[in-house]
Chain A
Amino acid sequence: MFFGFFRRKKKDRGSRKEAKDRLQAIVAGRRHSVPVREVIPAEVFKNSEQDVVKQIKSYVAERFMVNEENVRVQFEEHNGYVVIITNVVFH
């Protein structure tokens, strides 16, 4: 029992090994990304982008009673998805 106490203490020491194993497991394959152009052909994507920008500009300008030039619409392609950002400038 006396020696068992020290053995247990030694076994508990140092969390580095556990952290290293977990890090390797998490990091493996993590950097893989899916470009949107793998899902939608580039031409279709570009045409859709122009159509969507036009429609959002028109709709937002009408709803907020501002000129279409005051509505900024931007498309961003992130890892496998598209983000559409709209800014309305009132002044």
Chain B
Amino acid sequence: MAKVYVVTSGKGGVGKTTITANIGCALASKGEKVCLIDADIGLKNLDITLGLENRIVHTILDVVNKKVAASEALVRHKQLKGLFLLAASQIATKEMLSPEDMKRIVGELYGKFDYILIDSPAGIERGFRNAIASAEKAIVVTTPELPAITDADRVIGLLENAGMVEENIRLIINRFKPQMVKRGDMLTKEDIQENLSIDLLGIIPDSEDVIVATNKGIPVVLNGNQGHGIARVFENIALRIKGELISVEKDLQTEAGKGIIEFFKKLFSRN
């Protein structure tokens, strides 16, 4: 039976889709059978992040309208045989899907996967309600800025109101800049955690590698970076999801020493 997670944030543009894609890839590369569901109807992006945009035949709307079964609408990832995507429709609106529809779809896939990750749209309206309807656990994503943190706080409240217990809601801080924290110009992970009062699942340092990987349609975890830098952080998060106890400090260690490497890279760069 699958463990069903929703990846949500409240605020848009904090990296939900990139995080969903990379955690999915990291779990699948560790031998887990993973299904990613894009619940961002009308503004789909998960297929693009995974480089699967040209392979989509059926979308979640076809499943809602009972044209195909959920398993028939899935697209298998090119490199990872255990990773599947249920794509969102671009021509539909969030109102065409209901929380009951989402429960039915997840129910159909529940027995076939180890993990189901639902990529929630931004906001706290219908799309969010759909995304959380069938989730047992939530990953709340924020960046270290006030608007994103306060929106994350609102979302945590709504998840709790929907019946999710605090232990099942975990936080990822994305685009963290240790150098700014050192300068006293960015909130620390302790500041954020203290105010949101939920467990930390990971800290993802700001990285240009993510943009380069997205440009190629290859999640950073698969872009030749396995075991290093930012890919290592996603691998740590996947292992924590699987129940391994890995300190979140390890996420920041991937950045330690990068300064000197970058310095020499720039020094010998031809550009």
Contact = CB atoms under 8 A, between A and B. Distances in A.
Interface of A: 13-17, 19-20, 22-24, 26-27, 30-33, 35, 72, 74, 76, 79, 83, 85, 87
Contacts of B195: 23-24, 27
A16 B158 contact: no
Given A14-B183, A16-B186, A85 B157 contact: no
Given A19-B191, A24-B195, 17 more contacts: A13-B184, A16-B181, A16-B187, A16-B191, A22-B146, A23-B150, A23-B195, A26-B146, A27-B149, A30-B150, A30-B153, A31-B160, A74-B98, A83-B125, A85-B95, A85-B98, A87-B96
A26 B191 CA distance: 14
Given A76-B126, A87-B95, A27 B187 contact: no
B129 interface: yes
B139 interface: no
A26 B150 contact: yes
B154 interface: yes
A5 B172 CA distance: 40
Interface residues of chain A: helix, strand, loop or mixed (majority): mixed
Contacts of B125: 83
Nearest to A26: B150
A19 B126 contact: no
Interface of B: 95-96, 98-99, 125-126, 129, 146, 149-150, 153-154, 156-158, 160-161, 181, 183-188, 191, 195-196
Nearest to B185: A15
B120 to A, nearest CB: 16
A53 B98 CA distance: 16
Contacts of A16: 181, 184-188, 191
A29 B195 CA distance: 11
Nearest to A20: B191
Nearest to A13: B184
Nearest to A24: B195
B161 A76 contact: no
B264 to A, nearest CB: 29
Contacts of B153: 26-27, 30-31
A14 B95 contact: no
Contacts of A83: 125-126
A26 B98 CA distance: 32
Contact of B129 (A13, A27, A33, A76): A76
Contacts of B196: 27
19 contacts: A14-B184, A16-B181, A19-B186, A20-B187, A23-B150, A23-B195, A24-B195, A27-B153, A31-B156, A31-B157, A33-B161, A35-B161, A72-B98, A74-B98, A76-B126, A79-B158, A83-B126, A85-B95, A85-B126
Nearest to A31: B157
B265 to A, nearest CB: 29
